Amino acid sequence: MRIGAHVDPTDPLDEAALRKADAVQFFLADPQKDWNTPQPRADAARLRESEVDIYIHAPYVINLATTNNRIRIPSRKLLLGHATAAAAVGAKGLIVHGGHVNAGDDIARGFDNWRKAFAQAAESGGHDVPVLIENTAGGDNACARRFDNLARLWDAVGEYDVGFCLDTCHAHAGGEDLLDIVDRVLAITGRIDLIHANGSKDAFGSGRDRHENLASGTIDPQLVVAVVRAAGAPVIVETPGGVDGQATDIGYLRDHVGR
């Protein structure tokens, strides 16, 4: 099983070595505010040729579900740009949050906007790497927080071979029990391509996206281990504590997953 961490993008392979990680995930742009297409990386060939698995997380500003044209249309373009940039560094997947509609909007429009985004991309040759939609922690109008909505989202986009990233903190905060979560996800999506193995600082159903190390916080770490074991997918920890904190979490998973 490949286990790694979300790291600073300056030198991801050095960060992987410091954590003894098999995989790394990083941003190609400022996730909170950068609407620009990522610039080519000088280390692209080194990343492609590395034995470390590479995953790219799309910026948080992307929202393919929204009815706001000023956000939705640039979001489609930005996702395509990040997919191209992710392919250039040999990424195995591009993770993007499930998005939301505004208060008062019919969430069905959000699911249809997702469908239109993938249909439009397919007409132009598709995304250059697998796009992995990630479940999210909060929001009453979110497309991938609660699994009844996730099922409606998959009805809209499943035909486009989209992947899924399961975040344990997001599920816990979003009010989805981790005990049987892998079976429930697979019944909806048919696949889990990546696990974000995170603890949570907050209570079940809080809607708050605040990650914690596995041995701390409000999630029993053995529940996270059970999710990882059942899913059998690659794992990224997005936990605090820098090198020491993430290396400890990676070691914990290796010691307890049993693979």
pLDDT band at 259 (very low <50, low <70, confident <90, very high): low
Q: How far out from the chain centre does Cα 190 lie?
A: 17
pLDDT, one tens digit per residue, over 70-124 is 999 999 999 999 999 999 999 999 999 999 999 999 999 999 999 999 999 999 8
pLDDT, tens digit (0-9, with 9 covering 90-100), for 185-203: 999 999 999 999 999 999 9
Nearest to 89 by CA among 62, 51, 49, 34: 49
CATH number at residue 243: 3.20.20.150
**Which structural domain, as residue segments, surrounds residue 94?**
3-257
What gap in Å lies between CA 134 and CA 45, rounded to an integer? Answer: 28
- Total domains in the chain come to 1
What are the distances in angstroms from CA 1 to CA 4, 194, 233, 254? 10, 11, 7, 8
Model pTM score: 0.97
C-alpha–C-alpha distance, residues 157 and 134, integer Å: 13
